[in-house]
A and B are shown apart, each in its own frame.
Chain A
Amino acid sequence: MSPTESGPSGTVPAVGLTDVSMAFGGKTVLASVTLDIAPGSVVALLGANGAGKSTLIKILSGVHTDHGGEVRVDGRPVALASPLAARQLGIQTVHQRIGEGIVPGLTVAENLVFEELAQKRGNPFLSGRTTLARAREIQAGLGLDWSDQVLKQDVGELGISDRQLLILARALATRPRLLILDEPTSALSAAEAQRLFALVERMREDGIAVLYVSHRLGEIDALADRLVVLRDGLLTEDQARPFDWDAALRAMLAQSQEVTTARPVREGAEGEVALSLRGVRLFEGRAPLDLDLRAGEVTGVVGLLGAGKTELARGLFGAEPFATGAVELDGTAYAPRRPSDAIRAGVHLVPEDRHADALVPGWSVARNISLPFLKSFSRAGLMNRPKEDALGRETIEALGVVTRDEHSTVEELSGGNQQKVVVGRWLAHTPRVLILDEPFRGVDIGARRDIGRRARALAAEGAAVLVLSADVDEVLEVADRVVVLAAGEVHLDAYGEDAERDRVIQTISASV
């Protein structure tokens, strides 16, 4: 293979890929991907879960080394033999799961200079002063305004969006040629995402190439110069601005039918009240909250990080009982002291973080599904495995979980399919109230639609469904009724036409 010195237009791409391919056990996951990323350009990478995005990212970040084809940095062919080699060649990756990037127990400053600490050859003795000075430099380069007090804090005291900024700052301190951002906004509120977008703009000005991986079309529309779509390991679409979204989504989903779901139909309150909250305080010192959730409808609660969505969900589920107020379930007092109380009453929760709070690692799909209702799969304590496996197969079928079979471990599944497993475990016993906290985070569009459809079907069967999300579009897609929550208080509560997108967004921004 001869090195390509320059692209056809004369500019040398920051990073170029020629015929890059990857197979696992004879199965092609990435087939001959050719892509040039110019310096100072933001290229958006779209694809359903399992399309090959993560494989491509892992090749570029030096995790998968046995790929086919050629990778060039500044026109020179390179071997990305390890994550360290990739970083030294100027390819930095900020992964979706922020926790993997920070070192707990160290201060913010130490985390900022961590990469240099880990490689430094000179003086092995660390002085707090030099660390702090270097940390100041790094954060100033990003335009952050953290005080020394913040820098000296334990990193655990930073919020999730600040942690992400920290990781970004650290990556940018090495002056990379290419920065890969993998679902960078999945844990951020709208305002925090804006801060990130401003940073991406600066990177563009500084000539850093950015590969932006996201499911959120709005962000791509706002940020990217170019978008490429991966499907089944092939680059199926390559567009410059202005983007043709219909074509992009079709390339991604391989379906010519309309891609966005029509708004649900219910125009006003109809069903009887299933859950009624009176005087519930989500935060100390905030006004109490009154809210009725009706059977047969999907209530969407929108709010930024810190609005009280998770507090509401966990309170109703008994994971962190409400300190004040009263709740009634179908007219009788309901005060779950722990999740098992809620589950017995038919109130179920799909928690925000499926890895930390829902899935049992190393367990099969079937066992993850049966976990909350083990009693119904056992007699005199002895497990009835055939019955358990049968439910696994049923759930896989009902939700369209893509997996080899019910015995696959959950780690083998993509994010969207893992989420389907977590939702599916609550469908064994028809819930009275199903609470879904950020159910579409890190979930591809296909799975998002399957889960949304399932939630609507459940409501149609008479359950009260509560969907909580920071993403307005996600909520509008699935909810009959939209509630805007800010600092533990309701700012809007509307059905149908009244819950129109612009109005919801205006209410949110007015409430900040």
Chain B
Amino acid sequence: MTTTQSTEVPTKAAIRPATSTAVRVQNAVIKYGFIFVTVALFLYFALSEGSFRESATLLDTLRYVSVAAILGLGVTLTMAVGGMDMSVGAVAGLGVSVAAQTMVVFNQVGTVAILAVLVAGALAGLLNALLIVVLKIPDMLATLGTMFVIQGSKLILVDGQSITPGMTMSDGSTAPGRFTDGFLKIDRGTVLGIPISVLIFGGLTIAAWVFLARTRWGRVLYAIGANPEASRLAGIRVGAHRALAYVISGVLASVGGLILASRIGQGDVSAGTSQLLEAVAVALVGTSVLGRGRPNVWGTALGAVLIGIITTGLTIKGLPYYTQDVVEGAVLILALVFSFTLSKRRTA
């Protein structure tokens, strides 16, 4: 009828890629490969090791990964806006110290400690936002800077020492408080047999998924990550939304810190350090789940579960703990091959 319709033929890209068997297999591998690997590994461990089948082991696995997973959710949000939060491990560690300080030194109840930790996380996120949005420092460098600053100032705060109940303080007196029972339940307590930390992990995953995939704010974050200038010219307040992503990431990291503090039961100064790389790794692994090639919440959660299955499985198999890093690293690289190499080839 109209000219355009009669003169246009679909261009190359308008046509679905050829559906030869090889291409179909490759697409399936990219899309479901990671889920397949997860399920296969799970079955392998479950069939070969009796103790792996026990529900206590499985829940322990989830409990173990919950901290890295929750930190990874924050990293996922910042990756959605095209950035990266390298400070999540330090913020979690800060949370551990703040929790210990509040309860042990200032003799406050658990609720106050929880609030103090969440506020500290939000402040750390605001600091990142200030550096990135206002002072225009590239995301990765800015958050690397905050990582060091937070780690360092945390050490100053506690005089370089771990805070333990009953410890002697600098003025010679004994620390008046202790980790409250309620606070220790965060990691150690259960509801209907499920550890509270696992419930927090599940709840936050669902909340983050709704936020990122189903609300307009999530849509805006992805738009900014994909084309910031086009987003600005579509009327989006780019700076405010990037700041939002970093503040949420800071708060999520502090929730991870709460779980960690509850798990350790003292203000360990080195807490959180090892969580950074795991958090970044699960978020990156997550980009390859379902072949999306972009940060997404379910991917991150699944990536964390996969890493948990592997570590627990290999531990039960008797592999020494120090081989874990190599295995996790290999998983990450494999995931990146899925995300970048294979999916690029598909769209080329």
- A residues lining the B interface (CB < 8 Å): 24-27, 29, 48-52, 54-55, 64, 231-233, 252-255, 317, 319, 338-340, 342-344, 349, 351, 356-363, 367, 371-372, 374-375, 377-378, 381-383, 400, 402-404, 408, 411-414, 416-417, 425, 444-447, 449-450
Contact = CB atoms under 8 A, between A and B. Distances in A.
A339 B4 contact: no
Interface string B1-22: 0111111111111111111000
Contact of A446 (B4, B9, B217, B229): B4
A408 B219 CA distance: 17
B8 A48 contact: yes
Contacts of B12: 24, 29, 54-55, 64
A340 B15 CA distance: 36
27 contacts: A24-B18, A25-B16, A49-B11, A50-B11, A52-B9, A54-B12, A231-B7, A254-B7, A317-B233, A340-B236, A357-B230, A360-B231, A361-B226, A371-B231, A372-B234, A372-B235, A374-B216, A375-B216, A381-B215, A381-B216, A381-B217, A382-B215, A383-B215, A412-B14, A414-B11, A446-B3, A446-B8
Contacts of A356: 227, 229-230
B3 A255 contact: yes
A416 B223 CA distance: 22
Nearest to B3: A446
Nearest to A342: B235
Contacts of B24: none
Contacts of B13: 411-412
A29 B9 contact: yes
A49 B9 CA distance: 8
B100 to A, nearest CB: 36
B96 interface: no
Contact of B234 (A50, A253, A371, A447): A371
B216 A383 contact: yes
Interface in B236-274: 236-237
A356 B230 CA distance: 7
Given A375-B216, A414-B8, A357 B233 contact: yes
Contact of B10 (A27, A64, A358, A361): A27
Interface of B: 2-19, 210, 214-217, 219-220, 223, 226-227, 229-237, 294
Given A349-B233, A359-B227, A50 B217 contact: no
Nearest to B347: A411
Which residue of B5, B11, B236 has the most chain A CB atoms within 10 A of its CB atom? B11
Contacts, number: 149
A381 B216 CA distance: 6
Given A378-B216, A383-B216, A359 B230 contact: yes
B192 to A, nearest CB: 29
B3 A254 contact: yes
B14 A408 contact: yes
A50 B235 contact: no
B197 to A, nearest CB: 28
Contact of A371 (B6, B10, B15, B223): B223
A487 B252 CA distance: 52
Contacts of B3: 48, 253-255, 445-446, 449
A25 B18 contact: yes
Contact of A340 (B223, B226, B237): B237
Contacts of A414: 8, 11
A165 B3 CA distance: 35
Given A255-B3, A413-B14, A378 B215 contact: yes
- Lowest 5 CB-CB distances: which A-B pairs, in order? A446-B4, A343-B235, A374-B216, A50-B8, A340-B235
Contacts of A339: 232-235
A25 B32 CA distance: 24
Given A343-B235, A360-B223, A382 B214 contact: yes
Contacts of B233: 317, 319, 339, 349, 351, 357-358
A344 B236 CA distance: 11
Contact of B11 (A54, A343, A360): A54
A316 to B, nearest CB: 13
A338 B13 CA distance: 35
Contact of A400 (B4, B10, B219, B234): B4
A255 B235 CA distance: 40
A378 B218 CA distance: 12
B7 A25 contact: no
Which residue of B9, B231, B294 has the most chain A CB atoms within 10 A of its CB atom? B9
Contacts of A425: 234
Nearest to A30: B9
Contacts of A375: 216
B332 to A, nearest CB: 23
Nearest to A362: B226
A363 B230 CA distance: 12
A375 B234 CA distance: 12
A350 B110 CA distance: 55
B18 A48 contact: no
Given A48-B3, A374-B219, 11 more contacts: A24-B12, A29-B15, A48-B7, A232-B7, A232-B9, A253-B3, A254-B7, A343-B235, A356-B229, A357-B233, A358-B233
